[in-house]
Structure 1
Amino acid sequence: MTDAYAIETEGLTKVFRTRFPAREFKAVDAISLRVPRGTTFGLLGPNGAGKTTFVKMLLSATHPSAGRAKLFGQDCRVPEARRPIGYLPENHRFPTYMTGANMLDFYGALSGLESTARRRRIPELLALVGLEKWGGTRLGKYSKGMLQRVGLAQAMMHSPDLLILDEPSDGVDPIGRREIRDILQALEQKGVTIFLNSHLLVEVELFCREVAIIQNGRVALEGTVKELTAGSGYRVEAEGVPEALQTELRATARSVAARDGALQFLFAGRGEANRAIDLLRSQQIEVESVQRATSTLEEVFVRTINAK
Structure 2
Amino acid sequence: MTAAVWVSHLRKRYRRRVAVDGVSFAVARGEVLGLLGPNGAGKTTVIKMMLGLVRPDAGEVMLLGRPHTDPRSRERVGYLPELFRYQPWLTADEVLRLHVHLSGLTIGDRDRRDSLALAGLADRGGDRVGGFSKGMQQRLGLAVALVARPDLVVLDEPTSALDPLGRADVRDLLLSLRERQVAVLLNSHLIGEVERVCDRVMILDRGRVAASGTLPELLGRRELRLTLTEVGPEAAALLTPGTRDGDRFTVAMPPDVPALIADLVKAGARVHAVEPARVSLEERLLAILRTSHEEHP
Tell me the TM-score range normalised by the shorter chain.
0.7 to 0.9
Q: Which residue of 2 aligns with 1:15?
A: 13
Partner of residue 168, structure 2? 178
Equivalent of 1:127 in 117, 126, 133: 117
Gaps of 5+ in 1: 18-23, 242-251, 257-262
Distance 1:192 1:233 in 2: 33
How far off is 1:38 after superposition?
1.6
1:236 is paired with a residue whose SS is: strand
How far apart, CA to CA, are the structure 2 residues paired with 1:41 and 1:269? 26
In 2, distance between residues paired with 1:8 and 1:174? 33
Shift of the alpha carbon at 1:51? 0.3
Tell me the equivalent position of 1:21.
Answer: none
Secondary structure, aligned partner of 1:123? helix
Q: Any conservation in 2 of the 1:108–1:118 contact (CA below 8 Å)?
A: no
Counterpart residue number, 1:4: 2
Deviation of 1:195 (Å): 0.6
Pairing 1:303–2:293 present:
no
Shift of the 269–111 alpha-carbon distance from structure 1 to 2, 3 Å rule, reads closer
Q: Deviations over 1:46-87 (max 9, x none)?
A: 000000110111011111111111112321111111111110
CA contact (8 A) 1:39 1:188 kept: yes
Report the CA distance between 1:41 and its aligned residue.
Answer: 0.6
CA contact (8 A) 1:14 1:28 kept: yes
Could you say if the C-alpha distance between residues 104 and 290 of structure 1 is closer, same or farther in structure 2, counting changes exceeding 3 Å? closer
* Deviation, structure 1 residue 152: 0.3
In structure 2, what is the equivalent of residue 221 of structure 1?
211
Write out aligned runs for 1:213-292 (5 A): 213-231=203-221, 234-238=224-228, 265-266=249-250, 285-289=270-274, 291=276
**Match for residue 20 of structure 1?**
none
**Post-superposition offset of 1:266:** 4.2
Partners in 2 of 1:39 and 1:266 — Cα distance?
A: 33
Q: Structure 1's 52 and 122: CA in aligned 2 closer, same or farther, altered over 3 A?
A: same
SS at match of 1:101: helix
By how many angstroms is 1:91 displaced?
A: 0.7
Deviations 1:283-308 (A, max 9, x none): x64242164x4122111111111222
Whether the aligned pair in 1 keeps the contact of 2:224 and 2:274 (CA below 8 Å) is no
Give yes or no for the alignment of 1:96 onto 2:81: no
Tell me whether 1:38 sits opposite 2:30 in the alignment.
Answer: yes
What amino acid maps onto 2:210 in structure 1?
A
1:48 corresponds, among 40, 48, 62, to: 40
Q: Deviations over 1:2-52 (max 9, x none)?
A: x621111111111111xxxxxx21100001111112211111110000001
User: Contact 2:8/2:61 (CA < 8 Å) preserved in 1?
Assistant: yes
Partner of 2:202: 212
Sequence identity (%): 40
| Corresponding residue number in structure 1 for 2:236 | none
2: CA distance between counterparts of 1:36 and 1:131? 30
Q: Report if aligned partners of 1:239, 1:288 keep a CA contact under 8 Å in 2.
A: no
The 1-side partners of 2:126 and 2:248 are apart by: 55
Deviation at 1:90, TM superposition (A): 0.8
CA distance, structure 1, for counterparts of residue 124 and residue 70 of structure 2:
37
What SS does the corresponding residue of 2:122 show, helix, strand or coil? coil
Counterpart of 1:76, as a letter, is H
Q: Secondary structure at the match of 1:5?
A: coil
Note if contact 2:78-2:146 (Cα within 8 Å) is conserved in structure 1. yes
CA gap of 1:150–1:286, structure 2 versus 1, over 3 A, is: same
What is the DSSP-based 3-state SS (H/G/I as helix, E as strand, rest coil) of the residue aligned with 1:286?
strand
What is the CA–CA distance in structure 1 between the aligned matches of 2:229 and 2:118, rounded to whole Å?
A: 48
**Of 179, 198, 219, the match for 1:189:** 179
Which residue does 1:248 correspond to in 2?
A: none
Looking at structure 2, the residues matched to 165 and 35 of structure 1 have their Cα atoms a distance apart, in angstroms, of: 14
Distance 2:253 2:125 in 1: 58
Distance (Å, rounded) in 2 between the aligned partners of 1:92 and 1:48: 19
CA-CA distance at 1:234 after TM superposition: 4.2
Q: In the alignment, what sits opposite 1:247?
A: none
Structure 1 residues 110 and 303: CA distance shift in structure 2, 3 A: same
Which letter does structure 1 place at the counterpart of 2:179? Q
